[in-house]
Structure 1
Amino acid sequence: MNTAHLNTAGTGRMPAAVRAVLADATARDDLYGPYDLEERLGAVLHTEVYARLGGLLGVPAAHTALFTGAAAAFEFCLSGLALTPGDRIWTTPYEGVAQLTALHALRDRVHCALEVVPLRADGELDLEWMAAHLDEDVALVSVTHVAATVGTVGPVEAVGRLLAGHRARYAVDASHSVGRLPVDAAAIGCDLLTADGWRFLRGPDAIGFAYVAPALRSLLSGRAHPRPAPAAVAALHEALAHHAAAALLPWRDLEADLRAVLERTPGIELLTAGAGGSGILAFRHAELPSALIRRALARRGVVVWKSVAQETPLHLPARGVTTALRASVHYDNTPEDVTRFDEALQDVLRELREDLRKEDLRTRELRAREQDSPVRQLAAASGPVAATRTPARRGHLTLLQGAAS
C-alpha cells in the first residue's frame, strides 16, 4: 500500500538512486570487505562528500567532518572543550534530550553553571534576556535551529550577531533544518553546527556531519571519533547530489495546507509556535491519546510521528504536554498526501470518539447493574453498616520516643 509519508523530519524516504547506492555498497562490503569498498570509493569518501557538505553549509570543505549522527558530533566536540568552574553554559528549552545529556555531562565534569534561556510568550527565544545577561562568563551557547518536537524556527543568525565579539563558543543543532531550510553556517556565525543525514536530506541512517570552525578544529585533531560506515557515506554523497538538484526544481510547499487541516479540525490543538516555515507542525487532541491516533492513521496509510515529553525535557513537560503528534512535509510530498491525511484524520477521530462513547456506555451499564444487584439492595435496606477493624498483629518491633528501654 502506498503511504502518505508525513514524517520526513523523523526519517526521510530515500530516493531510488540513494537506495541503489546504499544497497550496492553494502553488498560489495559484504562480499569483499571494507578495504575493497574504501579503495573503490576512495575519492567519494575522502574528498567529494566533504565538498558537497561544504557547499550545503556555505563553508570550506576542510571545515566539515562526518559522524554517526548529530548527537554523536555534539557530544564528541563538547568533550574536548576546556571550561572552568566559573563559566556559564546557555541552552534553550528546545534542546533535545541527547544534546542536553551532553551538556549536563560537561557541566558535571567542570562544575560550571548550566542556564536555560527563556522563551517569549510567542515561543521565540528571548533575545532581550540574552543581551541583558550576556557577559564574559558565558563560555558556550547551544541553540536548536528548528525545535524537533514542535517545529519552531530559532533566530540562529540573530543569536550569532549577539555573540559576535564575545568569548562564548556558539553551537547550533541543525538536525531538523538542514535539507528543509537554507543553512549557512558562515552567516549564522557559529563555531559548531551539527546535523543528521537521514531527515530532510533523505540519506541513510547512522550518519551525520558537523561544521567545525577553525577555532575549534583542534578538538578533532589526534582524537578518534565515531565515523559512519563507508556504505552510508556513499549513500549520503548521493543524497546530497539529489537534494541539490531537487532544490532547483519548482515545488509546492504544503505546510500551509497542512496547517489549515489541523486548524479546522474540532478538538485539535496546534502546538507549533512562531511564524512557521520549517515544514513541521505539532498537534494533539483534547481527549484522544496521541498513540491511538498515530496507530489508526498508520492503518490507513498515513505516517506521522508521536513525540513524547522526554524528547525535549525542558519544553513539553513545562507546557503540560505528555505526548503529541508531529506531521512534516517536504518537496517529495503532494497535495494528495495532505488530502489523504485530512480524510484519514477525520475518520480516525470519528471512530475513536465513537469507541469512547461506547466504552462510556458500557461503564455506566456496569455501574447500573451493580446498583441493582441483590447485595446492593440488601445493603441499602439494612442502612449504614458500622465499619469494624481487627487490630493487626505486630510482626516487628516499634521504637517509640520516650519509651522505656
Structure 2
Amino acid sequence: MPAAVLEVLTEWTRFEDRYGPFELEARLDDVLNREIHERLAALLGAPPGDTVVCTGSADAFAAVLSRLPLDPGDRVWTTLYESAANLAALFALRARTRCRLEVVPLRPDGDLDLEWMARHIGDDVALVCVPYVPASCGIVNPVEDVGRILAPHRCLYAVDASYAVGQLPVDVARVGCHLLTADGWRFLRGPQSVGFACAAPRLRQVLAPHGGLPLAPPPGAAVAALNKALALRTPAPAPEDLASRLRAAVENTPGTELITPGRVQSGIVTFRHEELPAALVRRRLADRGVVVGKTVAQETPLYLPGRGVVTAVRASVHPDNSAEDIERFADALQDAVAEGRPRLARVPRPLFTAPAVRAVPSAPRVPAVVGSGAGERPGDGI
C-alpha cells in the first residue's frame, strides 16, 4: 500500500478501537455511502447505484450464488481457468439446485472457444462465469466477446475481475456482465479484507424475492483506505512493453518454462523451472530484493494439474515499475537459477529399521473434467 493509504487505515483502525464501529460509521458516513461508490463507478464505468463494497471477490460470488434461483434443468458454464474458491461456490450451487455444471472448452492456443459458445448457447443456460484474468496465469479472457454472445439470451453473466482491475481498463458496460467482482488489494493497492461488486439491475431483480444481495460489509477503516487508494490512483498506460520484457527475461533463463496460454497476455507472468521448486526460486529472488508470488495447482484445479504443474512462480508488472526493475529481475533470476539445487545433508543410517507403517486408504478423488474440452457436444460436466 502507498504510505498515505496505510496512514488512513491505521488512523481509522485506532479510532474504531477507541470509540467503536458505530461512531466510526458516523464519522465516515460520506466516505462509506457516497465517495467510495463514486470512485468505484468511475473505475468500472458503472452507475454508482450498481456498486457495493464487501469483504472480497470470492465472498461476493459465493453469497450471490447462495441465493440464485436455478432449476434442475438449468445449465451453468464455467471455464478451465476458474479459481478454486469460485468452483467451491459453483459446486455448492449445483448441490443446492441440481443444475448441470459444464466447462467451456479451450481452443488449441488456450483461448476460450467462442465458436463453441455461440453454437451451444440456449435458454437452458442460466449462468456463465468467466475470470477476466485467472490467478494462475496472465491470459486475458475475451470477456467483451463473451458478453456479446450471451446478450440476446436469458443467462446471467458473472466476471471475476480480481486480477484485472487496476492493471487493465475495465468497463462493465462494454463487458455486458450482470455481476462483476474484484478485490481492493493487488493492483489497486488497497488493504486486505475489502472488495467490491457491481450488480446490474437485472441481477438485483432476480435476487430480490430471495433476500437481495447478501453481502457482508467490510471494516469501515478498510473501506476508507481503499477510497484513499482510488483517490491517489492515476491511470497508467498498459504495461505491454514491460510485460513482454518480463516474459523475455524468463525465456532467456535456462531451464524455465512460461505458462502463457492464449493470444492476449496481461502484466502477470507465470513460469516454472524444470529442476528448482517455486518456493526456492521465490526465496532466492527475495534475498536479492525481488518480490514475486507462488501459485499452486489447487488454486486453478481444472487447468494447472492438467498441464502437470504443481507449483509455479508468478511475477507481476505494476504501474510504478520501470525498465530498470525488469533488468534487475532478469539478473536476479539468472543468479537464482545458477545456484542450482541445494545439497541435502547426509542423514545417518539408523541402527534398527522401524516396523513398516500400514498405508492409510487415500481420500476419494475430486471429480475431474471429462475429455479434452474440444468437441461438438455441450461442455463436459464436472
State the TM-score, normalizing by the size of structure 2. Answer: 0.86
Q: Which amino acid aligns with 1:324?
A: A
- Give the corresponding residue for 1:104: 91
- Give the corresponding residue for 1:82: 69
Q: Which amino acid aligns with 2:65?
A: L
Aligned pair 1:19/2:6, yes or no? yes
- Give the corresponding residue for 1:126: 113
- Please tell me the root mean square deviation across aligned C-alpha atoms, in Å: 2.0
- 1:239 corresponds, among 215, 229, 234, to 229
Q: CA deviation at 1:277?
A: 4.2
Q: Aligned partners of 1:238, 1:31: CA distance in 2, in Å?
A: 22
Q: Aligned partners of 2:214, 2:171: CA distance in 1, in Å?
A: 27
Structure 2 matches for 1:347-362, cutoff 5 A? 347-353=335-341, 355=342
Q: Aligned partners of 2:255, 2:38: CA distance in 1, in Å?
A: 48
- 2:239–2:267: 8 Å Cα contact kept in structure 1? no
Q: Aligned partners of 2:237, 2:299: CA distance in 1, in Å?
A: 34
Unaligned stretches of 5+ residues in structure 2: 349-382
- Give the corresponding residue for 1:264: 252
Q: CA deviation at 1:77?
A: 0.9
- 1:252–1:331: 8 Å Cα contact kept in structure 2? no
Q: Aligned partners of 2:3, 2:314: CA distance in 1, in Å?
A: 25
Aligned pair 1:320/2:308, yes or no? yes
Q: Aligned partners of 1:228, 1:68: CA distance in 2, in Å?
A: 5
- Give the corresponding residue for 2:278: 290
- 1:68–1:208: 8 Å Cα contact kept in structure 2? yes
Q: Which amino acid aligns with 2:138?
A: G
- 2:297 corresponds, among 287, 291, 309, to 309
- 2:160 corresponds, among 173, 179, 183, to 173
* Count of residues in correspondence between the two structures: 345
- 1:228 corresponds, among 206, 218, 231, to 218
Aligned pair 1:344/2:303, yes or no? no
- Give the corresponding residue for 1:369: none
- Give the corresponding residue for 1:5: none
Q: CA deviation at 1:274?
A: 2.5
Q: Aligned partners of 1:183, 1:334: CA distance in 2, in Å?
A: 23
3-state SS in 2 of match to 1:186: helix
- 1:316–1:322: 8 Å Cα contact kept in structure 2? yes
- Give the corresponding residue for 1:70: 57
Cα deviation, 1:317-348, whole Å, max 9, x if unaligned, reads 01111111110011122223222211211111
Q: Which amino acid aligns with 1:71?
A: A
Q: CA deviation at 1:248?
A: 5.7
Q: Structure 1 residues 30 and 304 mapped into 2: Cα distance closer, same or farther (>3 Å)?
A: same
- Give the corresponding residue for 1:329: 317
- 2:288 corresponds, among 285, 296, 300, to 300
Runs in 1 of length 4+ with deviation above 3 angstroms?
220-224, 248-253
Q: CA deviation at 1:352?
A: 2.1
Q: Aligned partners of 1:251, 1:16: CA distance in 2, in Å?
A: 23
3-state SS in 1 of match to 2:127: strand
Q: CA deviation at 1:226?
A: 1.3
Q: Which amino acid aligns with 1:32?
A: Y
Q: Which amino acid aligns with 1:130?
A: M
Q: CA deviation at 1:131?
A: 1.2
Aligned pair 1:149/2:139, yes or no? no
Structure 2 matches for 1:176-195, cutoff 5 A? 176-195=163-182
Cα deviation, 1:240-291, whole Å, max 9, x if unaligned, reads 1112xx2168989521221110111111101112234411010001111111
Structure label with greater radius of gyration: 1
3-state SS in 2 of match to 1:170: strand
- 1:44–1:234: 8 Å Cα contact kept in structure 2? yes
Q: Aligned partners of 1:163, 1:223: CA distance in 2, in Å?
A: 23
- 2:64–2:213: 8 Å Cα contact kept in structure 1? no
- 1:253–1:331: 8 Å Cα contact kept in structure 2? no
- 2:26 corresponds, among 39, 43, 47, to 39
Q: Structure 1 residues 182 and 267 mapped into 2: Cα distance closer, same or farther (>3 Å)?
A: same
Q: Aligned partners of 2:99, 2:68: CA distance in 1, in Å?
A: 12
